[in-house]
Chain A
Amino acid sequence: MIQVKISFQLNGDAVTAEVPDHTTLLEMLREEFELLGVKEGCGHGECGSCTVLVDQKSVNSCLMLAAYVNGRTVQTIEGLAGAQGRLDPLQEAFVKHGAVQCGFCTPGMIMSAKALLAENPNPSRDEIRWGMAGNLCRCTGYVKIVDAVESVCKGGCSCGEGS
């Protein structure tokens, strides 16, 4: 087993970790950094629950080796809310629009939406659906999640603020 040393930006902080080379980003985030908001729903890149941002792009952290993020920037759900718990507009919108039920898929959903809005700040409902197609939810039927994301791009939650 080879240990690898990784230095990267995590939720705004410069961090380092030393992990076995086969460690996934998901494992490292949950086990080394105790970022338990990163959820493992399947471990095979099928459900999107473990979505995080690497250099602003959404990735399934279960499919990416931890070593890959060396020198890069990683953002998880824990890094989204600002100081004094000020929520990201997407988080506010998910709460307000009833887009959360059991909540297991929610962190991954929000991170996917974050990446989508970074690329396309004003997506249509269909663009939201296709942009988030890799995230599964079994509770909500997705409708209220689309509502929530749409409200942010319509400026319903003061678009552009937050992190």
Chain B
Amino acid sequence: MAKVLEPKTGKPEFHTVGRRIPKLDALEKVQGKAAYIHDLKVPRMLYGKILWSEHAHARIRKIDTSRAEKLPGVKAVITGYNTPEIKTGFFKDNPVLKKDKVRQFRDEVAAVAAESEAIAEEAVRLIDVEYEPLPAVFDPVEAMAEGAPLIHEDKDSNILKLPWKLVCGDMDQGRSQADFIVEESYSMPWVTHCCMGSSGCMAEFHANGNLTVHSPTQIRYLAQRDFGDAMKALGLKGKRVQVVNTAIGGAFGSKLDTYPFEFITILLAYYTGRPVKLVFSREEEFFATPSRQKVDARISQGCKKDGHLTFREVEMVLDNGAYTSWGATTPSVMMMPISSLYKVPNIYYEAKCVYTNNIYATAMRGYGNPQATFAIESQIDTLAEQVGIDPLQFRMINVNTPGEITPQGFQIGSCGLKECLESVRESLDWDNKKGKQDGRGVGLGSLIHVGGGARIYKSDGCGTIIKLDDFAKVTVMSGATDMGQGSDTVIAQIVAEELGVEVDDVIVVMGNTDMETWDVGAHASRTTFVAGNSALFAARKAKEQILDLAAPLLQAAKEDLSIKEGNVFSRSNPEVSMQLARVLRALHFKTGGTQIVASHFYDPPTQMLDREMKGNFSVAYTYGVHGAEVEVDKETGHVEILKYVIAMDVGRAINTMLVEGQLEGGAAMGIGYSLMEELKADQGKILNPNFLDYKILTFPDMPDITSIIIETEDQFGPFGAKGIGEPPLVGSAPAIANAIYDATGKRVRSLPIIPEKLVAQEDE
């Protein structure tokens, strides 16, 4: 099967780290045996369905549920008027069932539970709602204007009260030192996750009043807390909530918050006393799932004649939509490329998040970084051209290096940005291909992202419990979440490496809040780093216990003992050896015996951003460069990607094949963001809620990807690894836009770069 990588000179030889080990659950998945929320069915289970708003902004005059209630097979019909008030979102501005008014077409007005999906759908159609339409606003700039309709009438403005401002150095000085200044505007559209498995959950109350929610969530433990709040509203304070993951059919940030549909399912289960499952149709997935928000940015940067950047100024307006979710916090990540991708001493950044009657904004892979990086990295090319320096060389002049402390207070440890740039130069044959404007062109986009967790909450921790049985089989209970990215496999490899056993001897149990210890969630590209370190340290503790207890058995000093290939042996005299399983049984089956169990809770040594938005909020930073060679058809504006390369400083690849999988999958999402994806709306109504009209990359659209893995061995990462979940889509848009400019001389400053924009006369 997998081949052991040749040990490189000076590097430790690993027996499992670095290997191309197939994902542990792939065997189940290729046989169709993985159970997603869609596949879950328990006795007496009911089906839930939501009635959505028919207006973008309207008062609810009356809801008449009587016809629905009479339909045979309907077990409950709930509205905001016959249930306790439960609100979601970090500003608690989103009632799970809307009362008094709706603020978007996606608003939940009522819900039913019925014996079948068909009956539930029919019942929803039988609910009569009287609305009084209100003036609505869909443009965040208009929403900020005096006299604009207020989305939330208890607030005095549509502008969210959020601290998104970063000032570093002296902007006046930065501007006066600049010999060249470029100022431009960029805009990025609403796009959405498009998980192949739609959202859903199943809620079930037990006889003792405790609740179990089966869900493909990325945040079991935060969801447990949120659902616990709902229990209080139901008068069930103190009862337990268990959150169990089903197989997750894609997430990409879409399942990073709790949403009204989940609370509605809990309410339906509570009122019917039966398990209730609610699953979105594809259309609902498109219009009701919060998405990556539209951003308009004004950006200016200046540099000296020698190319050194002197300042960067960015102002943004983010369309937040009608409610808060994590989308409103993405400026905290946008600051990262603005302040810390290159050395730039003077920085001003300000972002306004604005309520509108559009769908609302949540996390999506990259978390604001793709938008910010598109603006920065496109403009770097423009600035370099003005100065007359090759854009790759221009980046080399300003590149960050290990040991740097950036103006935002990031302590850059490992940093392979230079190596990534060099690799892309070579891979794209940059020096020969750049600058011809003959219909073919090359371009690149650099990136920075958190690679060592991110202190967004007070805890950025993850717990692991490890036990070994009498046959030296290892069970790892991890708080981490696998959404398909392969955390199960990476954790197994890390534990196997540390314990000296084979990956096949390790199983990783995740996805049940009753069984493992806490984890903040699968976000911020943190799982390999944080959950990986947690697993590593737990394995180390287990190993210490084993060696302590094995020393007398083998009549050797503990310090002389090691474990390899399932054997405990003496390093000084390898003849002294005993099977690990025999050691474990000897420790267990005797009077006063013991079994090996170890646990560790790892929380990275980071700081929360302070009031000025400064601090070292990750232990490690991942750098990378996307490069593209494109051919643009002058007549049609069609863009063909001839070559696509990603060079990524991953610290160390725990599993090279899974790293490539992240790079390739991220690139597909990034290329889609660059060239075709956009959620289109008319007066707040989504016009393209299906895969025919919302384009994602298909097989023929996708080029082969050249993955270049740079290993800088981060001092804090597990075996040197850094996180790489999000970076593979962050640099796509500028790389492609810059390549298109190199091919055609046309600078497109709005995404997606559809053919119409390339055949238009003016620059967009």
Contact = CB atoms under 8 A, between A and B. Distances in A.
A36 interface: yes
Given A135-B699, A143-B702, 16 more contacts: A36-B35, A40-B38, A42-B282, A44-B692, A77-B32, A95-B30, A101-B23, A101-B484, A102-B195, A102-B197, A106-B29, A107-B30, A132-B699, A133-B699, A138-B194, A141-B665
Interface string A135-159: 1111111111110000000000000
Given A42-B282, A91-B31, A96 B485 contact: no
Contacts, number: 178
22 contacts: A36-B35, A39-B249, A46-B282, A46-B692, A100-B484, A101-B486, A101-B661, A102-B195, A102-B197, A102-B483, A125-B704, A136-B196, A138-B668, A139-B485, A141-B665, A141-B668, A141-B702, A142-B664, A143-B664, A144-B660, A144-B661, A146-B699
Interface string B1-45: 100000000000000000010110111111111111011000000
A105 interface: yes
A104 B250 contact: yes
A110 interface: yes
Interface string B140-155: 0000000000000000
Contacts of A97: 657
Interface in B672-717: 690-692, 696-700, 702, 704-705
A87 interface: yes
A86 to B, nearest CB: 11
B309 interface: no
Contact of B196 (A49, A98, A110, A125): A49
B653 interface: no
B702 A95 contact: no
Contacts of B486: 101
B78 to A, nearest CB: 26
B699 A129 contact: yes
B667 interface: yes
Contacts of B25: 103
Contacts of B250: 102, 104, 138-139
Size range of the interface on A? 35 or more
Contacts of B30: 77, 87, 91, 94-95, 100, 103, 106-107, 110
A103 B31 contact: no
Contacts of B32: 35-39, 76-78, 106-107
Interface residues of B, number: 57
A125 B702 CA distance: 11
A21 B726 CA distance: 46
Interface string B425-440: 0000000000000000
B690 A103 contact: no
B252 interface: yes
B624 interface: no
Nearest to B657: A98
A43 interface: yes
Contacts of A47: 196, 282, 691
Provide the main secondary structure of the chain B interface. loop
Interface string A87-120: 1000100111110111111110010000000000
B281 interface: yes
Contacts of B669: 138, 141
A142 B668 contact: yes
A105 B34 CA distance: 11
B664 to A, nearest CB: 4
A143 to B, nearest CB: 4
A77 B29 CA distance: 10
Nearest to B663: A141
Contacts of A91: 30-31
Interface of B: 1, 20, 22-23, 25-36, 38-39, 193-198, 247-252, 281-282, 483-486, 657-658, 660-661, 664-669, 690-692, 696-700, 702, 704-705
A81 interface: yes
A130 B699 contact: yes
B24 to A, nearest CB: 10
A41 interface: yes
Contact of A104 (B197, B657, B660): B197
A5 to B, nearest CB: 21
Contact of B26 (A39, A95, A143): A95
A126 B699 CA distance: 9
Contacts of B665: 101, 138-141
Nearest to A36: B39
A81 B31 contact: yes
Central interface residue in B26, B667, B699, by most chain A CB within 10 Å:
B699
Contacts of B27: 87, 95
B247 A103 contact: yes
Contacts of B657: 97-98, 144
Contacts of A35: 32
Given A46-B690, A98-B23, A139-B250, A129 B197 contact: no
A96 B704 CA distance: 18
Interface in A40-83: 40-44, 46-47, 49, 76-78, 80-81
A102 B193 CA distance: 13
B708 to A, nearest CB: 14
A20 to B, nearest CB: 10
What are the 9 A-B residue pairs with the smallest beta carbon separation, nearest first? A37-B32, A102-B484, A103-B29, A141-B668, A101-B484, A141-B664, A104-B249, A77-B32, A46-B691
A135 to B, nearest CB: 7
Contact of B31 (A37, A39, A46, A143): A37
